[in-house]
Chains A and B, each alone.
Chain A
């Protein structure tokens, strides 16, 4: 498989009145054609900034790409002009946003909002675009698509609107689809429907998917690989199996441990204490150290590099250094890991 996307040492900052907020501090990851990568992390970890940067939609003039490359099919998106990015956006790379309630233009018919991209990128005339848009609505599971085409967003429910947003994103058969917490704002039952829909569509269109979420439960369901982000960096990356059965970074332990499951009723959840660091002045050394029960002295001095666990699995923690004390994940997290493999086995 050839690489569709390679992000190399991406650094993004925001200039605010209080100073420079380092939202993304050197992110590396890559993505193969047709693959699904989940980016997981708590709010403020830089996952959404990373995705808006990929789209070239950083708010200007505050948002600045300090360094790094975004190679999409071998071409660096960072160096593209505004006009060139407009050709790529919506055509090769599309995005589904978090809040379906506000992501659609309230004064424009739903059909027109889908057709816009088609007319712009595929040089379709209105009639063809209309036909294609109707098909898209059907594809995303909206009944009576030809009636719905002429309705306004407020006539749709939240789940239906998210389907429309997905239809807009899919309009031009993008090679890469970025979904920024597409289910967070929806009811749980609707969440499942939308996830199923995205999985189905991805299978049918074979586009690659970057799925941004803070919900690890969702990740196991959709992703091939997972990148865990903390404080503007990827701290652990691996296949779903690597991350769920063999997590190495204490932060990943925390994420797994703080996830309630059915059989976790009796045991205590493993919570990560404290709150994410202030990105105005990120701490020296390992940014996670102040919240890390297993922190080492070296964490306060030096940032850990990416240690290789296996060919697919890397993690940035000094615990993986050969001379570091051997530390096992906490009991509750271990039990959780076993739980996952049990569930897997049953399936």
Chain B
């Protein structure tokens, strides 16, 4: 084997190697802490970063949105009820549906009857209704179809008024109410999440850290609580308490902390027997130091992730409660109550449902993506 190209070997190099510098043990690449790694991983996740931006924008809008026009949350005026969205500039682009018109398909035995139907529907303001015949019909029942477009802002002589997202059945500005509602939903979600976080971490931390009898008793209590479905507890609480933000927060908090408590307890139990904690104790560190310096930093990831996932859950539950009439009651708004109102008018005024529905979906998706991103970022397996 060694005979193939003997002659090409530079024989003068067959001498012991003189080393300039020992590089065999050099560590390449800078060292990073776990948190730095996690942050890097999180910001690499484009969806999560976009979601953070989205959430920030939504939060800002929920604070400043209601002040962006002159209408108040509860400015009722039946003369301007159920106005469709009307946005300056964008009103020129008809397919956006922001041009301040109502439209729909109307049927009749012939075109005339169909047209009459449409006109009757739209306040009999014939001169403001465009009729486009879709199907001439053959005289049989409802065979003719017309497309009617009603220029309601002109009809009401309000073409200089702009309700960006229209008005609801009582003539309240939907834009203002939408952001008010978002604010209420977000406040409920954040407060419920924070309460769940504090109670859960404290409860789980104490149970896990002290262990033994304390742990036993505390865990039995949790087991009984977990056996009772959250749904039932929340529904009962909502029935008993006065409807409103506080009640929802209380109802959500009463059940919301158990999951966090169990997770934290499990983590603390696992960690406190690990060598590095034992080492800290052997070196004579106090309980407080051990908790603050060794336990908390190591479970902070899982706490953050879990909190991130409680927020969309709370938003959903608030919406659910308001939807079935147990949550926020008018004139206050929340995303759930707006959606509920939207369903009542789905057939004729779908815009009342579309915007709150889209917004709540965006919020939920964004928070879930942030949660996913954090979970991946805190997973050492994903650091590469």
Point out residues on A near B: beta carbons under 8 Å: 17-18, 273-275, 278, 289-291, 294-302, 305-308, 314, 318, 320-321, 323-325
B25–A274 touching, CB < 8 Å: yes
Contact A308 B1, CB 8 Å, known A274-B24, A275-B25 = yes
B200 to chain A, nearest CB (A): 32
B188 to chain A, nearest CB (A): 42
B25–A297 touching, CB < 8 Å: no
A305–B4 touching, CB < 8 Å: yes
> CA–CA, A266 to B16, complex, Å?
30
Interface string of B137-164 (1 = CB under 8 A from A): 0000000000000000000000000000
- Besides A298-B9, A302-B13, 17 other CB < 8 A contacts? A290-B23, A295-B17, A296-B13, A298-B10, A298-B13, A299-B17, A300-B17, A301-B13, A305-B2, A306-B2, A314-B1, A318-B14, A321-B9, A321-B14, A323-B11, A324-B14, A325-B14
B:1-56 near A, CB below 8 Å: 1-2, 4, 9-11, 13-19, 23-25, 28
> CA–CA, A302 to B1, complex, Å?
15
When C-beta atoms are compared, the residue in chain B nearest to A286 turns out to be B17
> CA–CA, A195 to B23, complex, Å?
39
When C-beta atoms are compared, the residue in chain B nearest to A304 turns out to be B2
* Chain B residues near A17 (CB-CB < 8 A): 384
A273–B25 touching, CB < 8 Å: yes
* Chain A residues near B14 (CB-CB < 8 A): 296-298, 318, 321, 323-325
Q: Identify 20 residue pairs between A and B in the complex whose beta-carbon atoms are under 8 Å apart, listed by A's number.
A: A274-B24, A274-B25, A289-B17, A290-B23, A294-B16, A296-B14, A296-B16, A297-B13, A297-B14, A298-B14, A300-B17, A301-B13, A305-B1, A305-B2, A305-B4, A314-B1, A321-B14, A323-B11, A323-B14, A325-B14
Chain B interface mostly helix, strand, loop or mixed?
A: loop
Once A and B bind, how many residue pairs between them come within 8 Å at the CB atom?
60
B9–A302 touching, CB < 8 Å: yes
A290–B24 touching, CB < 8 Å: yes
When C-beta atoms are compared, the residue in chain B nearest to A305 turns out to be B2
A319 to chain B, nearest CB (A): 9
B4 to chain A, nearest CB (A): 7
> CA–CA, A275 to B24, complex, Å?
7
> CA–CA, A324 to B17, complex, Å?
12
* Chain B residues near A320 (CB-CB < 8 A): 2
Contact A301 B10, CB 8 Å, known A274-B24, A308-B1 = yes
B22 to chain A, nearest CB (A): 8
A60 to chain B, nearest CB (A): 20
> CA–CA, A275 to B28, complex, Å?
12
Chain B residues bordering chain A, tally (CB within 8 A): 18
A307–B24 touching, CB < 8 Å: no
A296–B10 touching, CB < 8 Å: no
* Chain B residues near A274 (CB-CB < 8 A): 24-25
> CA–CA, A346 to B156, complex, Å?
113
Which of these, A18, A291, A298, contacts B24 with CB under 8 Å?
Answer: A291
Chain A interface mostly helix, strand, loop or mixed?
A: loop
Point out residues on B near A: beta carbons under 8 Å: 1-2, 4, 9-11, 13-19, 23-25, 28, 384
> CA–CA, A308 to B4, complex, Å?
13
* Chain A residues near B28 (CB-CB < 8 A): 278
* Chain A residues near B17 (CB-CB < 8 A): 289, 295-297, 299-300
> CA–CA, A275 to B27, complex, Å?
10
B2–A307 touching, CB < 8 Å: yes
> CA–CA, A325 to B13, complex, Å?
11
When C-beta atoms are compared, the residue in chain A nearest to B13 turns out to be A298
Taking each of B2, B28, B384, which has the highest tally of chain A beta carbons within 10 Å of its own beta carbon?
B2
When C-beta atoms are compared, the residue in chain A nearest to B4 turns out to be A305
When C-beta atoms are compared, the residue in chain A nearest to B18 turns out to be A297
B23 to chain A, nearest CB (A): 6
Contact A273 B24, CB 8 Å, known A302-B9, A305-B1, A307-B2 = yes
B322 to chain A, nearest CB (A): 45
* Chain B residues near A18 (CB-CB < 8 A): 384
B84 to chain A, nearest CB (A): 51
5 nearest interchain CB pairs? A274-B24, A298-B13, A295-B17, A297-B13, A306-B1
> CA–CA, A314 to B3, complex, Å?
13
* Chain A residues near B16 (CB-CB < 8 A): 294-297, 325
* Chain B residues near A273 (CB-CB < 8 A): 24-25
* Chain A residues near B384 (CB-CB < 8 A): 17-18
> CA–CA, A296 to B28, complex, Å?
25
When C-beta atoms are compared, the residue in chain B nearest to A272 turns out to be B24
B34 to chain A, nearest CB (A): 20
* Chain B residues near A278 (CB-CB < 8 A): 28
B10–A307 touching, CB < 8 Å: no
* Chain B residues near A324 (CB-CB < 8 A): 14
> CA–CA, A291 to B84, complex, Å?
78
B2–A308 touching, CB < 8 Å: yes
> CA–CA, A18 to B4, complex, Å?
36
When C-beta atoms are compared, the residue in chain A nearest to B1 turns out to be A306
Taking each of A18, A275, A318, A323, which has the highest tally of chain B beta carbons within 10 Å of its own beta carbon?
A323
Taking each of A274, A275, A298, which has the highest tally of chain B beta carbons within 10 Å of its own beta carbon?
A298
B24–A325 touching, CB < 8 Å: no
B288 to chain A, nearest CB (A): 39
> CA–CA, A327 to B255, complex, Å?
76
A30 to chain B, nearest CB (A): 14
A231 to chain B, nearest CB (A): 13
> CA–CA, A193 to B290, complex, Å?
45
* Chain B residues near A294 (CB-CB < 8 A): 16
* Chain A residues near B2 (CB-CB < 8 A): 305-308, 320-321
* Chain B residues near A321 (CB-CB < 8 A): 2, 9, 14
When C-beta atoms are compared, the residue in chain B nearest to A278 turns out to be B28
> CA–CA, A311 to B58, complex, Å?
78
> CA–CA, A297 to B19, complex, Å?
9
Taking each of B1, B14, B15, B19, which has the highest tally of chain A beta carbons within 10 Å of its own beta carbon?
B14
> CA–CA, A314 to B2, complex, Å?
10
A178 to chain B, nearest CB (A): 26
B381 to chain A, nearest CB (A): 14
> CA–CA, A291 to B1, complex, Å?
25
